[in-house]
């Protein structure tokens, strides 16, 4: 419990720090977001009073460029605390509603990618370890290293060009078929998965390699542990040794990689969703950058960060359940 | 399968005991390595007498762990074991251990001959409660789990452990001594006849070592066990063992009753070993480390493998490998000059050594 | 397991001079430096070179350094090199537009929509890429090492603050933060861009180093140095840094790959503005945004060609990092060096796991 409280505090503190950071970026940076917006508004409306422009900017980003620092900070943070991320002039609606429509799709994509990637990497790595030194092992190692050298967006481009437009096996853009109405129908859900294939594959193909190699290394190490030897001498069935001894103990150290790749994929969603025209949170962050829509940009940035913090928090909490050595409250956190 | 070693006396009686439970003949373990063949067990002949406690002593890297593994045909993988290992159950025909099928071998291990490794800390699955390790062993051998757990509790109590507390713990929640005792209990859960222990106390402090030795003695009586105790710690095992076997450079160099070895060790190596081992009563300055270093398994010296370090070595020792010679009843030694050893390598504190 | 397996990695005589005292220190310094070089650089380098991954990886990296030199020589205005042009700089209309690769050997990899030579683009974007990589990798390694060692060694409030900072930096997803910073700062200087991209890369390494320092601090030779009254800086430099080399190396490669991936992505997406073909990502941006290469099969090559150096350099870096395995894994290393393994054979299963 003590551990849980500490972890929660840690997560909240991180969120607070990121919010403060984004306030700092908007308000304090020379040519920061507030300044950029004020300048633009002044340029576009040369006749309007500075006070009015300041109020306009403040309405959009929750930060009054003319207010003293601590007041502005208070206003910004209390706005955030109430869940108000401001108004997006590009979307013509509140940042909240843009994000509400986009976030589930990004989470959907991330979940598929993460689960599939780890399933592939872990099983492949374990098989490679069992067949250490074989042709299969060497070939798979080579392929894993090569695929890992490809940036995910390069893979995405190749998939779009050759699998999407080339063969039209998989749709290269969008979240679901345009002919289908959203709802709990087979067509819609199937279509959504179909549309998620290429984006997820871009992450999986380029990301599984090092994970598989790490799993292979862990498994080889565990295979050499005394407890595996003792288990064999005790006559335990091979299957049990593979799953309960080698598998379980080799997977646990991979947890760090899982947490890191969640953050990595959330970040990568900006590029991937742009390439696949997949209106998730990254897609809107990209629009915000393109149109210099500061409230939307900072809002999506905050949401992505909070999402990663939450994912890591959940991951950490479940790790304690998986590894009994954590339960006793020692210092070894998952990452 | 095996031919009698010409190196050793034709008379097998030298290393034969009256009622052996395990017979090891010409056991050899070979590893193929980049720089040549590594022979880490070299033609060892040894009998383990039923219901005795046999201590096998040697420096690390002398092949003693290989000998232990060989008794269960459990040599680790690239290693190849040859020779003949025979297990003599009390109520069945002798078993040729190296000729067993996979299923028969599975039954032999742990049900007849069990083993405790050094490093109890790493012998339990770290992500499983101790109970799980017992249950899965019972299940794997089709034993009745409830009866088996009842027996486990009894053994744990014999080892002065609280059964439920230990069973419900994860390995890391137990102290080193507790883990070691739990591991001994795990090795006895299928009621084996023979327990082979490889450095079972190496990681423990002196006090814990002593108390585990006492417990082993007690267990041996109660469960009618034969114990093979492998260690580098000669004084420790001398307190426990009925007989001692000394290994050097992957061979057996001396074997005999404990009393006799301590009083009249016939091999210069054994004598040096007795001088080199720390005695609680003796000061640091009285210890004499053995000069030189243990030989490389790929490149064992010709003749007697101890000759580069032996103060008595002459040309015979360089050229010929000594056979086992009879020093006394049941006391054999592989040294040409064993009769001069007492003079060449005197005990540092003769009086004290003798009455240990 | 036996202590021999516990990863007491290459340990370049960190205890050297521990008992040297004041009088002997001066005499042995040079000697020690030579000894250190032998044990910390020469021998490991030889061992590492025996690994094929290291050979291939280093060759690829060397190739890019060579290409970078070619570009630098070609574009240099320094008087000796002013007239030397090995590869023309990529400019609009230097050749026919939309020329596919392998058709005209004046432009072996083809030209883009505005007639720029793609090969020239790859070559001339290389120096800036190398600058960015160096900046990012060096920056993150230095910050991480400083934060990790100071936190681990100082302890107390300093440790708590620094580790909390690392935790936060580690949690923030890198690319979005980098994009936001790029949008706000709009940097042009490649060194600066490299540093911004790795703005939070140091955190992971700092944590690793911190925990390593904590365990190293327990080690006797550090204790001894401390009792002898050596200063913190000197202890860190002599006793702790050499043991951290494996982690620093791995991080160096990781940071380098991050810089390649992210810088290309930033140019590709148009987040970073450009004056000329200053990054392979710019070539991709032109192909994607102007050439419509995603939808126009005839222009796909414009997108694929700049991907070749990206994948190749990344591959080289990964192979290099994998090749250091042998170096930093003492068990493998012992076997390679042909030392005796009788200990392992006798006492445990370690030999099996090679």
pLDDT digits (tens, 9 = 90+) for B11-53: 556 677 788 899 998 888 888 777 778 888 888 888 999 999 9
Which pLDDT band, with edges at 50, 70 and 90, does C308 fall under?
Answer: very high
Structure tokens at A178: 């345009």
E-only strand ranges, chain A: 87-88, 93-94
Q: Is the same domain home to A233 and A174?
A: yes
3-state secondary structure of B53: strand
Residues in C touching A31 (Cβ below 8 Å): 184-185
Q: Is residue A328 part of a domain?
A: no
CA nearest B20: which of B330, B262, B247? B330
Residue C45 exposure: Cα atoms within 13 Å on the Cβ side: 7
Structure tokens at B338: 């064993």
Question: Distance (Å) from the C-alpha of residue C236 to the closest C-alpha of chain A?
Answer: 24
The mean pLDDT value of chain B amounts to 83
Pairing status of strand B243-248 against strand B53-57: parallel
Interface contact A324-B172, CB threshold 8 A: yes
Q: Is the same domain home to A172 and A124?
A: yes
Q: Which residue has the tokens 């050893």?
A: B341
pLDDT of res. C212: 78
Q: How far apart are CA C88 and CA C122, in angstroms?
A: 11
Where along chain C do its domains lie? 52-76+83-323
Q: Which residue has the tokens 């040409």?
A: B336
**Tens digit of each residue's pLDDT (9 = 90 or more) over A242-269:** 988 998 888 888 887 787 788 888 888 9
pLDDT of res. B344: 77
pLDDT of res. B199: 85
Return phi, psi of residue B226, to 5°.
Answer: -105, 130
Mutate to test the interface with B, among C50, C347, C353 (most CBs of B within 10 A): C347
Q: What CATH number corresponds to the domain at position A203?
A: 1.10.3720.10
Buried b (16+ CB within 10 A) or exposed e, C271-305: bbebeebbbbbbbbbbbbeebebbeeeebbbbbbb
Q: Is the same domain home to A112 and A45?
A: no
Domain boundary among A292, A310, A326: A292
C328 pLDDT more than 70? no
Structure tokens at C71: 């570009």
Q: Given CA atoms B300, B305, B308, B313 in this order, what sign does their dihedral have?
A: negative
Q: Is the same domain home to A80 and A112?
A: no
A99 pLDDT more than 90? yes
Mean pLDDT of all residues in B206-224: 88
Q: Is the same domain home to A187 and A284?
A: yes
pLDDT of res. B18: 80
User: Other C-beta atoms within 10 Å of C3: how many?
Assistant: 6
Q: Is the same domain home to A40 and A135?
A: no
**Tens digit of each residue's pLDDT (9 = 90 or more) over A144-197:** 999 999 999 999 988 988 887 777 778 888 888 877 777 778 888 888 888 999
Interface contact B31-C345, CB threshold 8 A: yes
CA nearest C298: which of C171, C43, C111, C35? C111
C218 interface with B at CB cutoff 8 Å: no
Interface contact A305-C181, CB threshold 8 A: no
Indicate the range of B30-39, C123-132, C179-188 predicted with least confidence: B30-39
Q: Is residue A110 part of a domain?
A: yes
pLDDT of res. C3: 40
Q: Which domain holds residue A266?
A: 102-292
Structure tokens at C41: 């650089």
**Tens digit of each residue's pLDDT (9 = 90 or more) over B241-290:** 999 999 888 888 899 999 888 888 888 888 888 887 665 454 445 455 56
Mean pLDDT of all residues in A86-97: 86
Top mean pLDDT of A22-36, A298-312, C120-134 is at: C120-134
Q: Is the same domain home to A120 and A78?
A: no
Domain boundary among A70, A92, A114: A92
Interface contact C348-A226, CB threshold 8 A: yes
Percent of chain B with pLDDT over 90: 28
Interface contact C174-A13, CB threshold 8 A: no
Mean pLDDT of all residues in B124-146: 92
Whether C88 and C71 have beta carbons less than 8 Å apart is answered as: no
Q: Is the same domain home to A189 and A229?
A: yes
Question: Distance (Å) from the C-alpha of residue A224 to the closest C-alpha of chain B?
Answer: 10
CA nearest C346: which of B140, B41, A7, A36? B41
Which pLDDT band, with edges at 50, 70 and 90, does C241 fall under?
Answer: low
Residues in B touching A240 (Cβ below 8 Å): 136, 140
Number of domains in chain A: 2
Q: Is the same domain home to A118 and A148?
A: yes
pLDDT of res. A136: 93
B·C CB contacts under 8 A = 47
Q: Is residue A299 part of a domain?
A: no
Domain boundary among A38, A73, A92: A92
- For C314, counting Cβ atoms within 10 Å of its Cβ (0-12 exposed, 13-18 middle, 19+ buried), the class is buried
Instruction: Give DSSP secondary structure letters for C282-333.
Output: HHHHIIIIIS-TTT-GGGHHHHHTTHHHHHHHHHHHHHHHHHTHHHH-HHHH
Q: Is the same domain home to A87 and A118?
A: no
3-state secondary structure of C188: coil
Whether B197 and B227 have beta carbons less than 8 Å apart is answered as: yes
Interface contact C347-B118, CB threshold 8 A: yes
Question: Distance (Å) from the C-alpha of residue C223 to the closest C-alpha of chain B?
Answer: 24
User: Other C-beta atoms within 10 Å of A287: how many?
Assistant: 19
3-state secondary structure of A182: coil
CA nearest A107: which of A206, A200, A211, A184? A200
CA nearest A307: which of A277, A272, A282? A282
**Tens digit of each residue's pLDDT (9 = 90 or more) over C36-49:** 676 667 777 777 77
Q: Under the phi-then-psi rule, with left for phi > 0, alpha for psi from -120 to 50, and beta for the rest, what region is C281? A: alpha
Q: Is the same domain home to A87 and A121?
A: no
Q: How far apart are CA B180 and CA B120, in angstroms?
A: 5
CB-closest option in C175, C312, C317 to A268: C175
Interface predicted TM-score of the whole assembly (ipTM), two decimals? 0.82
C23 pLDDT more than 60? no
| Helix or strand holding residue A290 (H, E) | helix A281-290
Residues in A touching B122 (Cβ below 8 Å): 225-227
Interface contact A145-C315, CB threshold 8 A: yes
CB-closest option in A229, A240, A328 to B136: A240
Q: Is the same domain home to A114 and A84?
A: no
Whether B85 and B22 have beta carbons less than 8 Å apart is answered as: yes
Residue B292 exposure: Cα atoms within 13 Å on the Cβ side: 15
CB-closest option in C1, C341, C345 to B119: C1
CB-closest option in B78, B79, B294 to C342: B294
Top mean pLDDT of B85-94, B281-290, B327-336 is at: B85-94
* Dihedral Cα B56, B61, B62, B65, nearest 10 deg: 40
Q: Is residue A162 part of a domain?
A: yes
What does CATH list as the number for C52-76+83-323? 1.10.3720.10
Bridge partners of B243? B54, B257
């Amino acid at each position: 419990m003590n551990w849980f409280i500490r972890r929660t505090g840690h997560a909240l503190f991180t969120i607070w720090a990121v919010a403060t950071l984004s306030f700092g970026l908007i308000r304090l940076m020379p040519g920061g977001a507030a300044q950029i917006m004020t300048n633009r508004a002044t340029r576009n409306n040369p006749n309007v009073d500075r006070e009015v422009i300041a109020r306009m900017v403040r309405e959009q980003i929750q930060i009054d460029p003319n207010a003293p620092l601590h007041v502005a900070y208070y206003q910004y943070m209390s706005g955030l605390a109430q869940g108000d991320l401001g108004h997006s002039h590009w979307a013509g609606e509140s940042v909240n509603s843009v994000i509400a429509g986009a976030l589930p799709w990004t989470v959907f994509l991330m979940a598929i990618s993460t689960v599939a990637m780890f399933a592939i990497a872990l099983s492949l790595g374990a098989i490679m370890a069992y067949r250490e030194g074989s042709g299969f092992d060497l070939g798979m190692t080579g392929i894993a290293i090569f695929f890992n050298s490809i940036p995910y967006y390069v893979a995405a481009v190749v998939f779009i060009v050759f699998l999407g437009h080339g063969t039209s096996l998989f749709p290269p853009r969008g979240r679901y078929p345009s002919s289908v109405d959203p709802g709990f129908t087979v067509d819609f859900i199937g279509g959504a998965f179909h549309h998620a294939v290429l984006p997820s594959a871009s992450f999986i193909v380029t990301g599984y390699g090092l994970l598989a190699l790490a799993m292979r290394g862990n498994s080889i190490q565990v295979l050499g542990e005394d407890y595996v030897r003792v288990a064999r001498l005790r006559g335990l069935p091979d299957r049990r040794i593979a799953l309960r001894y080698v598998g379980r103990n080799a997977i646990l150290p991979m947890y760090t990689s899982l947490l890191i790749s969640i953050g990595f994929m959330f970040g990568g969603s900006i590029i991937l969703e742009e390439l696949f025209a997949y209106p998730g949170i990254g897609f809107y962050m990209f629009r915000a950058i393109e149109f210099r829509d500061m409230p939307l940009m900072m809002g999506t940035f905050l949401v992505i960060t909070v999402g990663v913090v939450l994912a890591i928090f959940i991951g950490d909490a479940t790790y304690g359940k998986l590894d009994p050595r954590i339960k006793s409250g020692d210092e070894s956190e998952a990452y | 399968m095996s031919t009698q070693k010409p190196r050793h006396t034709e008379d097998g009686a030298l290393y034969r005991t009256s009622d052996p439970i395990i017979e090891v003949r010409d056991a050899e373990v070979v590893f193929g390595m980049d720089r040549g063949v590594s022979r880490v067990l070299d033609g060892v002949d040894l009998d383990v007498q039923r219901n005795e406690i046999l201590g096998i002593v040697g420096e690390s890297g002398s092949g003693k762990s290989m000998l232990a593994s060989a008794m269960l045909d459990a040599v680790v993988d690239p290693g190849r074991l040859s020779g003949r290992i025979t297990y003599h159950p009390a109520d069945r025909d002798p078993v040729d251990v190296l000729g067993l099928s996979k299923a028969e071998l599975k039954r032999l291990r742990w049900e007849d001959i069990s083993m405790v490794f050094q490093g109890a800390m790493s012998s339990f699955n770290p992500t499983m409660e101790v109970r799980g390790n017992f249950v899965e062993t019972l299940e794997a051998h089709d034993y009745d789990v409830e009866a088996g757990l009842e027996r486990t509790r009894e053994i744990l109590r014999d080892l002065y452990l609280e059964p439920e507390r230990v069973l419900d713990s994860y390995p890391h929640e137990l102290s080193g001594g507790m883990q070691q005792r739990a591991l001994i209990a795990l090795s006895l859960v299928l009621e084996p006849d023979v327990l082979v222990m490889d450095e079972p106390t190496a990681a423990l402090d002196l006090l814990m070592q002593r108390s585990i030795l006492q417990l082993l003695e007690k267990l041996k009586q109660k469960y009618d066990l034969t114990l093979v105790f492998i260690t580098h710690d000669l004084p420790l095992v001398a307190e426990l063992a009925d007989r001692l076997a000394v290994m050097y450079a992957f061979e057996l160099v001396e074997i005999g009753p404990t009393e006799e070895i301590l009083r009249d060790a016939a091999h210069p190596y054994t004598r040096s070993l007795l001088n080199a081992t720390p005695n609680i009563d003796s000061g640091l300055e009285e210890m004499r480390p053995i000069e030189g270093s243990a030989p490389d398994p790929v490149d064992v010296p010709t003749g007697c493998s101890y000759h580069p370090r032996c103060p008595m070595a002459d040309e015979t020792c360089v050229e010929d490998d000594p056979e086992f010679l009879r020093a006394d009843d049941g006391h054999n030694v592989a040294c040409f000059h064993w009769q001069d050893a007492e003079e060449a390598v005197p005990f540092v504190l003769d009086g004290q050594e003798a009455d240990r | 397991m036996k202590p021999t397996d516990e990863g007491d990695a290459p340990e370049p005589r960190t205890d050297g001079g521990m008992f040297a005292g004041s009088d002997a220190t001066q005499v042995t310094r040079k000697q020690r430096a030579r000894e250190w070089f032998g044990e910390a650089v020469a021998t490991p380098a030889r061992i590492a070179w025996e690994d094929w991954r290291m050979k291939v990886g280093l060759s690829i990296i060397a190739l890019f350094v060579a290409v970078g030199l070619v570009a630098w020589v070609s574009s240099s205005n320094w008087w000796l090199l002013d007239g030397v042009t090995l590869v023309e700089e990529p400019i609009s209309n230097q050749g026919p537009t939309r020329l596919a690769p392998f058709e005209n050997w004046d432009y072996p990899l083809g030209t883009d929509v505005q007639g720029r030579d793609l090969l020239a683009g790859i070559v001339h974007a290389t120096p800036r890429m190398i600058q960015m990589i160096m900046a990012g990798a060096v920056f993150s390694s230095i910050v991480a090492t400083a934060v990790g060692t100071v936190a681990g060694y100082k302890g107390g409030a300093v440790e708590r603050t620094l580790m909390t900072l690392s935790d936060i930096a580690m949690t923030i997803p890198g690319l979005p933060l980098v994009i936001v910073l790029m949008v706000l700062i709009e940097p042009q200087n490649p060194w600066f861009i490299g540093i911004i991209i790795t703005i939070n890369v140091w955190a992971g390494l700092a944590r690793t180093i911190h925990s390593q320092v904590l365990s190293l601090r327990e080690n006797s030779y550090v204790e001894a140095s401390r009792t002898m009254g050596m200063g913190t800086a000197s202890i860190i430099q002599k006793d702790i840094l050499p043991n951290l080399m494996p982690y620093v190396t791995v991080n160096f490669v990781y940071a380098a790959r991050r810089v390649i991936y992210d810088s290309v992505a930033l140019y590709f997406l148009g987040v970073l503005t450009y004056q000329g073909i200053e990054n392979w990502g710019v070539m991709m941006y032109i192909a994607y945004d102007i050439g419509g290469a995603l939808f126009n099969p005839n222009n796909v090559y414009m997108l694929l060609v700049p991907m070749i150096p990206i994948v190749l350099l990344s591959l080289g870096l990964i192979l290099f990092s994998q090749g250091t395995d042998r170096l930093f894994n003492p068990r493998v290393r012992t076997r390679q060096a042909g030392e005796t393994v009788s200990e392992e054979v006798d006492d445990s299963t370690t030999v099996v796991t090679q």
